[in-house]
């Protein structure tokens, strides 16, 4: 008993870590719509509340809110896809000779037979099939997320009452207390995306990159994905400038990417630390470890564990 009393806090933290790990892996591998549900719920909830205040029925309010968000998503995807296609086509037409020269130089450096052999091996695999299956899974997950959000909006009260029967009221109060912190995390991520977008757009303007506004916004959208977001845009632009022998611009783009990433990490740790009342170093470590262990979803799970762990320590 004395041992349990002395190490009570540590035991609770370990149990919390196990619970968070199990839930996160379960969500990551067996319930992909979870993240889409959270994002859709956060975005549609204000619209739903507004429509209910205008005396529309809950079901109509939920349906219209979800429909409006989906229309915005579809329009954004079409616009981005069309813009990317036009930019790529324009680049290819204007630099066809330079691209062919660059490819010829690359082929002369490497073994042609080896390259073609590897290419055929890639084509002979199920790469395209797996890509189609993965896309189908994401579309289905998004569809499930939309249906789930509809019922969460309409039957919110009944769902909360059901969970109150399953978990102790003291635990539910703690979860509800963390709702504000989760909203703060969401707002902070939006602010960080806007800051990154402005930094990248300004950098592209200074470096005289074509279509700086569009590319900056595209980077901002992709910046939601930690560590793998903006690099998707930067790498092709860097390679392009190497092809056209603009080495100073390529070097400038590399420095810009590093600068944006450093600023984002520092600001994220600072903002989250202030809002969640956690030390910035703890926030930074929780994000880093979370991403390493769980992948992209770990950028959210890490700080959440930090918040819950802080709650346990303070209660003790």
Domain assignments of the chain as residue spans, ordered by start: 33-166
Lowest mean pLDDT among 135-149, 157-171, 204-218, 239-253: 157-171
Q: Which residues contact 24 (CB under 8 A, 6 or more apart)?
A: 294, 297, 298, 301
Q: How much is the average pLDDT of 157-171? A: 71
Residue 203, both tokens: 């950098």
Q: Which residues contact 290 (CB under 8 A, 6 or more apart)?
A: 297, 298, 299, 300, 301, 302, 303, 305
- Buried residues in 292-311 as b, exposed as e (16+ CB within 10 A): eebebbbbbbbbbbbbbbbe
So what's the pLDDT on residue 101? 65
Bigger pLDDT: 80 vs 205 = 205
Would you give the distance in Å from CA 244 to the centre of its chain? Answer: 33
So what's the pLDDT on residue 132? 57
Query: Would you say 191 and 214 are in contact if contact means Cβ atoms under 8 Å apart?
Result: no
* Burial class (CB within 10 angstroms; exposed 0-12, middle 13-18, buried 19+) of 192: buried
So what's the pLDDT on residue 235? 85
Question: C-alpha angle 308/222/150, rounded to 5°?
Answer: 60
So what's the pLDDT on residue 68? 92
Residue 153's CB: how many other CB atoms inside 10 A?
23
Q: How much is the average pLDDT of 230-254? A: 84
So what's the pLDDT on residue 209? 85
Residue 133, both tokens: 């299956």
Query: Would you say 286 and 245 are in contact if contact means Cβ atoms under 8 Å apart?
Result: no
Residues 176, 164: Cα–Cα separation, whole Å: 12
- Measured torsion, CA atoms of residues 61, 63, 69, 71, in degrees rounded to the nearest 10: -130
Confidence of residue 310 (pLDDT cuts 50, 70, 90): confident
Output the CA torsion sign for 258, 264, 270, 272: negative
Residues 249, 251: Cα–Cα separation, whole Å: 5
Residue 167, pLDDT above cutoff 70: no
pTM, two decimal places: 0.64
């Amino acid at each position: 008993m004395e041992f349990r009393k002395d190490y009570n806090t540590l035991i609770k933290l370990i149990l919390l870590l196990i619970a968070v790990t199990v839930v996160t892996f379960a969500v990551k591998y067996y319930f992909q719509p979870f993240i889409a549900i959270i994002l859709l719920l956060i975005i549609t909830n204000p619209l739903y509340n507004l429509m209910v205040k205008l005396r529309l029925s809950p079901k109509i309010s939920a349906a219209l809110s979800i429909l409006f968000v989906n229309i915005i998503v579809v329009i954004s995807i079409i616009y981005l896809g069309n813009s990317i296609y036009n930019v790529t086509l324009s680049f290819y037409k204007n630099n066809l000779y330079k691209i062919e020269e660059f490819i010829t130089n690359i082929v002369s450096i490497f073994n042609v037979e080896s390259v073609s052999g590897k290419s055929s091996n890639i084509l002979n695999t199920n790469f395209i099939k797996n890509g189609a299956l993965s896309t189908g899974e994401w579309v289905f997950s998004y569809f499930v997320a939309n249906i789930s959000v509809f019922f969460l909006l309409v039957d919110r009260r009944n769902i909360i009452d059901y969970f109150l029967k399953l978990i102790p009221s003291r635990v539910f109060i703690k979860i509800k207390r963390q709702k504000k912190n989760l909203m703060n995390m969401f707002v902070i991520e939006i602010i960080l995306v806007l800051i990154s977008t402005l930094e990248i757009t300004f950098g592209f303007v200074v470096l005289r990159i074509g279509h700086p506004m569009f590319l900056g916004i595209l980077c901002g959208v992709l910046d939601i994905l930690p560590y793998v977001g903006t690099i998707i845009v930067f790498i092709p632009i860097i390679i392009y400038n190497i092809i056209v022998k603009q080495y100073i611009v390529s070097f400038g783009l590399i420095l810009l990417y590093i600068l944006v990433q450093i600023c984002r990490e520092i600001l994220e740790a600072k903002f989250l630390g202030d809002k969640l009342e956690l030390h910035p170093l703890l926030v930074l470590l929780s994000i880093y470890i979370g991403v390493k262990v769980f992948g992209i979803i770990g950028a959210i799970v890490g700080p959440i564990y930090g918040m819950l762990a802080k709650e346990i320590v303070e209660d003790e």
